[in-house]
Amino acid sequence: MTSTPTTGNTSASASAHALYGPVAGDLPRVSEALQSIASNVEFAFLQKMLENALAGTGKMMRPAIALLGGRLGNYDLDRLVPLAASVELLHTATLVHDDVIDEAQERRGEPTPNALFGNAASVMLGDYMFAHAADFIAQTDSTQVVRVFARTLMSMANGELKQDMTVFEYSEDVQRYLDRITGKTASLFGTAAQGGAMVAGVPAEQVEAMRVYGLHLGIAFQIVDDILDFTGDPAVMGKPVGSDLAGGTLTLPTILYMQRKPDDNPVKRAFEGTRRKANIDRAIREIVESDLLDESMQTAVRYGEEARTALRTLPGGEVRDTLEGILDYVFSRRS
């Protein structure tokens, strides 16, 4: 696979332009919409929490995909910017709630809202952000998009519940894992892509192609993320190697490891409470030294190819090329 030429750029704006092409110049409008949430709040404590939560919105991949879907038809930023903002805000709100559930003190090396403001306040912060995301999505003036948004929120909650209810449960299998990440992560990628195309009024087959592209891109994205949990630089990732496994969450590399070692399995012993740290450390080491990460990447690549196939329904040109470039970037990223 070829990589999108993002390395070597000297600024974030240059990197965004290389990755997001025709919509890079419009992403600041999405950022402004997000920042306006905090500036329009009179309650100083809530304003402070919002500023903290919205400070690290990352690479804005989901909003960019929503805008790219809009580029296929009537590119009305008055409707597309609220859609893109709602997608990013929904993603950020889920992270706030995730950190409360996981009792996480840091994310990407920075203190989480619950570490700074407490769990109760952070739950309400996430709720406020969910409500504001709904307000943004209503500004699209499309009941169909609102319905897709609502179903996505239910899917994400379902995926999060599946993850939380299977912590330190070693009976997870590959299909259950894929179902979980489809709901928790990939559904929002699919909604971003589908929603942008719907708002732009493109033909139904292109709307469906964007949905399939986004969904499969999201699955590949999460699998790569789970591989990076074992291979990434802790300083860049902002968390220790193997932190998902240490926290009791089984991802694809570990599930494949357990299938390969059904008898002498340190993960099972750790989850049963036997010398937990020593057994987890052994499992992480053996996974990293095996070919299981390559096998996991092959699964991610298969989903990536499904996403690439979906793009063939779209007209050729800069939008399709940019969507392919984002797909390539997913496999070249290091954090």
Structure confidence at residue 58 (pLDDT): 75
What φ, ψ does residue 256 adopt, rounded to 5°? -65, -40
* Distance of alpha carbon 45 from alpha carbon 185, whole angstroms: 30
CA distances from 126 to 54, 56, 88, 113, 212 (A): 11, 15, 13, 10, 28
- CATH numbers and ranges of domains, the chain: 15-332 (1.10.600.10)
Structure confidence at residue 335 (pLDDT): 76
Structure confidence at residue 7 (pLDDT): 31
The two tokens of residue 316 are 């050729």
* Distance of alpha carbon 264 from alpha carbon 201, whole angstroms: 56
* Distance of alpha carbon 132 from alpha carbon 34, whole angstroms: 10
Structure confidence at residue 1 (pLDDT): 33
CB-CB neighbours of 118 under 10 Å: 11
Structure confidence at residue 68 (pLDDT): 98
Structure confidence at residue 282 (pLDDT): 95
Sign of CA dihedral 100, 105, 107, 113: positive
Structure confidence at residue 2 (pLDDT): 32
- Of 145, 19, 125, 20, residue with least CA distance to 82: 145
Taking CA 311 as the corner, what is the angle to CA 145 and CA 60, rounded to the nearest 5 degrees? 55
pLDDT in tens, the chain (335 residues): 333 333 333 344 447 668 999 999 999 999 999 999 998 888 999 999 998 889 866 789 999 999 999 999 999 999 999 999 999 999 999 988 888 887 778 777 788 888 888 889 999 999 999 999 999 999 999 999 999 999 999 999 888 888 887 777 777 789 999 999 999 999 999 999 999 999 999 999 999 999 999 999 999 999 999 999 999 888 777 788 999 999 899 999 999 999 998 888 899 999 888 899 999 999 999 999 999 999 999 999 999 999 999 999 999 999 999 999 999 999 998 77
Structure confidence at residue 159 (pLDDT): 85
Q: Which residues contact 307 (CB under 8 A, 6 or more apart)?
A: 212, 213, 214, 215, 216, 217, 220, 327
| pTM of the shown model | 0.92
* Distance of alpha carbon 76 from alpha carbon 329, whole angstroms: 27
Span between the terminal Cα atoms of the chain, in Å: 18
Structure confidence at residue 57 (pLDDT): 64
